[in-house]
Amino acid sequence: MAQETSAAPAAPPEVRPRIRTITAFVNLDRNQYEQQFTDAIALLHRAKTTFESRGYQVQTLRVATQPFGDYTKDISDAEAIALFVKIDAIADKNKLMVAIGPAMPNPGDSPAQADLLASILRGTKHIFGSLTVAGSDGVRWAAVGAAARVIKKLENTERSEGNFHFAAAAMVPAMSPFFPAAYNEGFGHAFAVGLESPNVVEAAFKGAPDVATARQRLTEMLSAVAFDVQTHANRIDMETGWRFAGIDLSPAPGVDRSIGTAIETLTQQPFGSAGTMTAAATITGGVKDVGVKQVGYNGLMLPIAEDQQLARRWNEGRVSLDALLAYSSVCATGLDTVPLPGDITEKELSLIVGDMASLAFKWNKPLTARLMPVTDKQEGDMTEFTDPSLVNLRVLAVK
């Protein structure tokens, strides 16, 4: 992680990123969770008001807890599900997203946690979760198989969108503001910020004469906005007593802001062509050179079903699972929102998740697999997602 340096000038409005998320981290106590959510919501609205008064658009407010097994281990599954239904109602009322941390966060944890997580996610609308498939001890193969089972269970949800709320997670640190793999560690009472900044990347790459210049421009332009965000976050920290954990500078795309288009601005080739790996490394390197307080992934994200241009190149057959894994060696999130045939087996899913986990452990970097098999869809069929965060695209066969 880069060290903090002096503040840079604020970015001009035309290249200002959105704030994708402000995420509050809580150490949930089952006996006082309602008050904890009340306090977190107050913090989030205070932060949202602060950033919006400075010209930023804030897209989502989120809460993340420690691994849910820590506060449900002494109650029945039925009681745990009932608890999360109540938390889901709080989230619905307050327009929140809630991450309840990973199942099986420790080596040797029972796969029963995975089954409980699947039941929680199937019975709620605003809750997200993950399952830890690799850590400093290596790839956890029992967890890999458990993740595959969760994916198949969540396939059988409305339009198979349940897997949008789940990821198999490898080497993902605590305090990342991005979902589904966000979780708290320690005392909580902290917050972090995640950006949506493909427009900054595109502006930095436009007209760059070479890769080195593109990377330098990206670092300079992203530094300008990141230091501005950090200044306001530090003010929120001082005024509220909630600790500012840092910023995840990953340029997360949205349906109307494409990281695929930004990459093609540099390569002058369709995404998936030669040069895409170089662009991925350039973005990740440029992001990591920004000297603000960083948390989370801080690298390129390639969510296929959340980006219009990535979806277009996927539909054209220019992008494969193997290519996405290759790019993950120099970027951030692994396999994200990848549509798969509904008849894919648990064994095939476990092989894909295992490849991601092996790569994450080999390079000691955070990666996830958010795989989305779609019931009754085969190669060439279009998905029918209705979640506004998702783009409909073709299901490609696993080769």
pLDDT digits (tens, 9 = 90+) for 35-92: 999 999 999 999 999 999 999 999 999 999 999 999 999 999 999 999 999 999 999 9
Quote the pLDDT of residue 397.
Answer: 79
For a pLDDT cut of 70, what percent of the chain falls above it?
Answer: 96
Per the CB < 8 A criterion, the answer to whether 36 and 90 are in contact is no
What is the structure's pLDDT at 14?
A: 59
Would residue 276 count as lying in a domain?
A: no
Say how far apart CA 393 and CA 360 lie, in whole Å. Answer: 27
pLDDT at position 168 is 98
34 occurs within a structural domain: yes
Please state, in angstroms and rounded to a whole number, the distance separating the CA atoms of residues 330 and 320: 16
Number of domains in the chain: 1
* CA–CA separation, 5 and 199 (whole Å): 24
**Strand extents, DSSP E, 155-301:** 166-170, 188-196, 243-248
Q: What is the CATH number of the domain that holds 148?
A: 3.20.70.20
Q: Which long-range contacts (CB under 8 A, 24 or more apart) does 274-277 make?
A: 276/323, 276/327, 277/326, 277/327, 277/330
- Say what the pTM is: 0.94
Q: Round to whole Å and give the CA distance between 289 and 54.
A: 25
Using CB atoms within 10 Å of the CB of residue 111, give its burial: 0 to 12 exposed, 13 to 18 middle, 19+ buried: middle
Q: What is the mean pLDDT of residues 251-275?
A: 95
In a domain, 310, yes or no: no
Distance CA 88, CA 85 (A): 5
Pair 373, 335: CB distance under 8 Å: no
Mean pLDDT of the chain: 94
Domain-embedded: residue 101? yes
pLDDT at residue 13 in the model = 55
Closest by CA position to 154, among listed 93, 207, 103: 103
Residue 70 counted as domain residue: yes
For 88-116, write each residue's pLDDT tens digit: 999 999 999 999 999 999 999 999 999 99
Confidence of residue 4 (pLDDT cuts 50, 70, 90): very low
Q: Is residue 203 a part of any domain in this protein? A: no
Each residue's pLDDT tens digit, 162-213: 999 999 999 999 999 999 999 999 999 999 999 999 999 999 999 999 999 9
Rounded distance between C-alpha atoms, residue 107 and residue 140, angstroms = 7
Which ranges of 268-378 does DSSP label H, i.e. alpha helix?
276-288, 308-315, 321-328, 346-363
Residue 248 lies in a domain: no
Please give the average per-residue pLDDT across 153-166, as a whole number.
96
Q: What is the pLDDT of residue 310?
A: 96
Tokens matching residue 93: 């009322």
Helix, strand or coil, per DSSP, at residue 388: coil
Kindly report the backbone phi and psi dihedral angles of residue 42, in degrees, each rounded to the nearest multiple of 5, phi listed first: -60, -45
First to last CA, the chain: 37
Q: How confident is the model at residue 399 (pLDDT cuts 50, 70, 90)?
A: low
Contact between residue 221 and residue 200 where contact means Cβ atoms under 8 Å apart: yes
Three-state DSSP class for residue 34: helix
| Torsion 14-217-47-57 (CA) sign | positive
| Residue 38 identity (one-letter amino acid) | T
The SS3 assignment for 143 reads: helix
Range of the structural domain that residue 138 is part of? 17-170
Amino acid at 154: L
Q: At what angle do helices 141-155 and 112-122 cross, to 10 degrees?
A: 20
Cα 248 to Cα 5, 234, 236, 244, 325, distances in angstroms: 17, 15, 17, 12, 21
The pLDDT score that the predictor gives to residue 373 is: 97
Asked if residue 139 is part of any domain, the answer here is: yes
What is the per-residue pLDDT for 191? 98
CA–CA separation, 197 and 257 (whole Å): 8
